[in-house]
Amino acid sequence: DGGITQSPKYLFRKEGQNVTLSCEQNLNHDAMYWYRQDPGQGLRLIYYSQIVNDFQKGDIAEGYSVSREKKESFPLTVTSAQKNPTAFYLCASSIGGTSGETQYFGPGTRLLVL
């Protein structure tokens, strides 16, 4: 069954703690993305990766870090520097390239601060 998986579904972070959100895809897509969603707002881009071993900052990268060591995996770390991490985090992937490729989303991870 092809698709994008994110884990965990819910994640709790304590003050000063780094937490990592998992994103895996078996669609053989080159490009992967991380978005943050807050109530009443559109999705905002945190980081994106067009190819393995390469990634770029999006619009709200401060307090986050990523890695892209494998094509199918794009984990996101929410660091202690992110002062307002409570949000719904969405991972997406697309075939890649510069043409208008559709981005397909995973089920999301809800991050809450204790």
Partner 1 sequence: GENVGLHLPTLSVQEGDNSIINCAYSNSASDYFIWYKQESGKGPQFIIDIRSNMDKRQGQRVTVLLNKTVKHLSLQIAATQPGDSAVYFCAERLSGGYNKLIFGAGTRLAVHP
Residues that bind partner 1 (CB under 8 A): 4, 6, 31, 37, 39-45, 48, 50, 56, 87-88, 90, 94, 96-98, 100-108, 110
Smallest gap from residue 101 Cβ to partner 1 (A)? 6
* Nearest to partner 1 of 82, 94 (CB atom): 94
Neighbouring CB atoms inside 10 A of 13's CB total 17
* Nearest to partner 1 of 16, 42 (CB atom): 42
Report residue 30 as tokens.
């080159």
Which of these, 31, 25, 41, lies nearest to 88 by C-alpha position? 41
Smallest gap from residue 31 Cβ to partner 1 (A)? 6
* Nearest to partner 1 of 19, 23 (CB atom): 23
Smallest gap from residue 78 Cβ to partner 1 (A)? 16
List beta partners, residue 56. 48
Question: Any alpha helices (H) in 15-113, and if so which ranges?
Answer: none
8 Å CB contact between 92 and 35: yes
